[in-house]
Copies of this chain bind each other. A is one copy, B any other.
């Protein structure tokens, strides 16, 4: 199912995704579904390709489904589910991530409001950071929205 090189890539891309917050098993599953040539894999194919237990496979799959990073389809007359990478969701999730940064800037605004004017240099640093953040968030969202408009 995988070439030797692809097996290596599943691991190394897996590590990168671990660093991005996925658990080892979820990272491997997502990595596998990105790398494998087949357009979708069954539960057991995933389990066997990664040498995972059923519980680890089940939990990893359900976690990735909850994040909307993978999806599944069924085939007529079969009960099995076939999982695939929802890579095309990247715009949606990037956008969500950037919007989430507004929590950070709102927090900084609160902090600015509640600092004395004793140390104006630092107050100005906070304001500058926040101005940039707000600018950066809206620019990033523009970049996403204007990317190959479809």
Q: How many residues of A contact B (CB 8 A)?
A: 40
Which residue, of A118, A125, A135, A148, has the highest number of chain B Cβ atoms within 10 A?
A125
Contact B9 A111 (CB under 8 A): yes
Contact A35 B114 (CB under 8 A): yes
The answer, yes or no, to whether A43 is at the interface (CB within 8 Å) is no
Q: A87-B129, A104-B16, A107-B12 are in contact. Are A114 and B39 (CB under 8 A)?
A: no
Min CB gap A141→B, angstroms: 11
Contact A136 B140 (CB under 8 A): yes
Contact B9 A114 (CB under 8 A): yes
Contact A16 B115 (CB under 8 A): no
Q: Which residue of B lies closest to A15 (CB)?
A: B107
Q: A87-B125, A129-B87 are in contact. Are A115 and B12 (CB under 8 A)?
A: no
Min CB gap A118→B, angstroms: 5
Among A34-91, those with CB < 8 Å from B are: 34-35, 37-39, 85, 87-88, 90
